[in-house]
Amino acid sequence: MSDTLYLSLWYPNLRLATLPDKLTAVLGVFAAHGGDARVYAATVWPINWTETPVFQQVYGCGERGAEPRAAVEQALELLHDDFAYEFQIGWSLWELEAGAGLDARWVREPRLVRVTGFGPLFDEGAYEQDGHIRVDFGTDAPFLEEDLELDPEGAGHVAENILQLVALTGAVEKGSGATARLLWSELGESLAQRLAARLGVGN
């Protein structure tokens, strides 16, 4: 069963004024690890997720997107301790082309990843559980493909996806100066064990 995959990052004694630099650092890592260099969209949420956004900007994909620092500066002009700041950026992974039968082929497909920075009072201090910054990778299927019988090619692509994920999470932690990180899923199962088991399939 596929699940949503997250990376949570925490920083010691983080002051709200330094959140823009942390967000810029996290977004800036993607280009070197299979992602886009530019931000697709930015949204600012007040108080909690049920409220209407106070800011939304769609920049576009690829070269039409915004430089991470420019997007962060624009969104965080409204710097409040009960706001959350969400940015969408592209990240490409190997996936089995949808709807293909015997002619199924693996292609590198871009997906939208959400990078969110939390003010300390947003959603009653959600950062304590979710991190000062949370990266939402979407479904974990590209890292597991548990519904597929993987041949050597498929196993190789899944392994590439996992290694890309590991490299990205390490670079994000180092580049942004995080002191704690947690890669987790909504179901709460041990992702590390599932990934390790899947890496051994077909090899």
How many CB atoms are closer than 10 A to CB 69? 16
Q: How does pLDDT run across 156-192, given as a tens digit for each residue?
A: 999 999 999 999 999 999 999 999 999 988 776 666 6
pTM score, two decimals?
0.91
Residue 25 pLDDT grade (very low, low, confident, very high; cuts 50, 70, 90): very high
Per-domain boundaries in the chain:
4-199
Which pLDDT belongs to residue 190?
61
Residue 120's closest CA among 7, 18, 27? Answer: 18
Residue 126 token pair: 């959600």
Residue 142's closest CA among 194, 80, 76? Answer: 194
DSSP string, 146-187: TTS---HHHHHHHHHHHHHHHHHHHHHHHHHT-SEEEEEETT
15 phi and psi, to 5 degrees?
A: -95, 145
Which residues are paired to 7 by β-bridges? Answer: 135, 183
Q: How does pLDDT run across 50-91, given as a tens digit for each residue?
A: 999 999 999 998 789 999 999 999 999 989 999 999 999 999
Q: How does pLDDT run across 88-136, given as a tens digit for each residue?
A: 999 999 998 866 556 678 999 899 999 999 999 999 999 999 999 999 9
Q: Is 79 within 8 Å of 17 (Cβ atoms)?
A: yes
Q: Is 47 within 8 Å of 170 (Cβ atoms)?
A: no
Residue 135's closest CA among 51, 22, 57, 48? Answer: 22
